């Protein structure tokens, strides 16, 4: 049994906690796209772990953590993360496998990322400027450098020389020396070798042995390069198709899809956000929910739950169940709004538009639901939730078109409700 856990909104939904929670049921956890722009935060007994490249399953002994070919890897960021985990008492050891087909992020990619954002001016995307986009551009342009390329030293030298010289012409202030980059890559290759291999083959062998796997996405469906709010998107396929291409597994290997969604909505960076809140309510959600980027520290934009967007994510990904996170952040609000449609000009729209940017002014259509005064934080069963919270969840299921099987009521691993009659409970038996 192999289950995909992916974001059903704009990222930052709490996938790290959900993957960590589910991991004991699985033998391996694999990451299939993105780079170290992702930030998965996990709290265990009050201890905070922030993961960027390594799958969240690394916190459990005996679980193999896999970085697929669809991920772009910054070796420096990878080594730093491994060292930080060691400082927190987590030894990666031989529990890490990196695809030899994964592309590398190099120093000039970061420079190009900063330059690209600066050139866009007011039309900037709001990237993390960590070189993710330019690394994917080189991959598609067939000039990228992969992990396996670190073996053929002569071919690598020629490729690095050509790439660095070309980038120095684009980045006029750059004095990057190709030889320094080359030498650095050789050192990276020596250090990474113990963790490098054929991920597709390893996963095929694991599945033939009957091992269960958890497949972890980064970002969210609304940031997918093909299906998100283009051009304000990430540079990879965060949706379900990326799991197959990013790991080298067939679609039939996937047995279920869990979409993670907050009980409200957040977004980092630029781009359309119909339910965004300005003023006291938005500020309250941000502060109560600690809505600051795990990778960048940037404040997240906050708004009400957008069922139009989630329903779209459910359709595109074939989501079987929703893991609803941060329900406790809504505690003590008098009224909670749910967006069930958009008003665009004289039209009412209930399906997510192909191009949200060119629609013109969008007015969200809201339903108002009463809040609850009793706390949901730390609740361990659905019956413990206030009646108003249960009604809110039921309505989210109706307007999103998928059942809620898991509910997070706090940041810690144990502050979670798994509904007994849900498909999530079935996956975890």
Bridge partners of 370?
335
Active site residue 40: yes
CA distance between the termini of the chain? 11
Active site residue 60: no
20, 36, 40, 52: which is the annotated catalytic residue?
A: 40
CA angle (122, 37, 46) in 5-degree steps: 125
| Enzyme catalytic residues | 12, 40
């Amino acid at each position: 049994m192999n289950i995909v856990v992916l974001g059903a909104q704009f990222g930052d939904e709490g996938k790290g906690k959900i993957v960590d929670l589910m991991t004991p049921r699985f033998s391996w956890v694999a990451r299939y796209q993105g780079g170290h722009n992702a930030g998965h935060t996990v709290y265990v007994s009050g201890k905070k772990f922030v993961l960027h490249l390594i799958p969240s399953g690394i916190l459990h002994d005996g679980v193999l953590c896999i970085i697929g070919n669809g991920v772009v890897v910054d070796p420096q960021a990878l080594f730093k993360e491994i060292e930080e985990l060691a400082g927190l008492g987590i030894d990666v050891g031989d529990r890490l496998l990196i695809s030899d087909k994964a592309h590398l992020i190099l120093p000039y990619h970061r420079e190009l990322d900063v330059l690209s954002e600066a050139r866009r001016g007011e039309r900037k995307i709001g990237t993390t400027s960590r070189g993710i986009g330019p690394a994917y551009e080189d991959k598609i342009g067939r000039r990228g450098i992969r992990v396996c390329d670190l073996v053929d030293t002569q071919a690598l030298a020629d490729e690095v020389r050509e790439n660095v010289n070309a980038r120095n012409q684009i980045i006029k202030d750059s004095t990057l020396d190709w030889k320094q980059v080359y030498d650095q890559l050789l050192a990276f290759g020596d250090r990474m070798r113990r963790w490098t291999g054929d991920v597709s083959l390893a996963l095929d062998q694991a599945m033939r042995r009957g091992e269960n796997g958890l497949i972890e996405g980064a970002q969210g469906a609304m940031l997918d390069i093909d299906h998100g709010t283009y051009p304000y998107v990430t540079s990879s396929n965060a949706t379900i198709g990326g799991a197959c291409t990013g790991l080298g597994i067939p679609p039939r290997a996937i047995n279920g899809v869990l979409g993670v969604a907050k009980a409200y909505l957040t977004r980092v960076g630029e781009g359309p956000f119909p339910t965004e809140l300005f003023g006291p309510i938005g500020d309250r959600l941000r502060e109560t929910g600690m809505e600051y980027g795990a990778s960048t520290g940037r404040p997240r934009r906050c708004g009400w739950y957008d069922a139009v967007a989630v329903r779209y994510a459910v359709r595109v990904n074939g989501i079987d169940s929703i893991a609803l996170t941060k329900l406790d952040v809504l505690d003590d609000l008098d009224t909670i709004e749910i967006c069930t449609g958009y008003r665009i000009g004289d039209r009412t729209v209930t399906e997510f538009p192909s191009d949200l940017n060119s629609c013109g002014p969008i007015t969200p259509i809201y339903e108002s639901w009463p809040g609850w005064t009793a706390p949901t934080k730390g609740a361990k069963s659905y019956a413990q939730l206030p009646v108003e919270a249960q009604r809110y969840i039921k309505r989210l299921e109706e307007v999103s078109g998928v059942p809620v099987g898991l509910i997070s009521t706090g940041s810690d691993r144990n502050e979670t409700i798994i509904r007994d009659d849900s498909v999530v409970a079935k996956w975890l038996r």
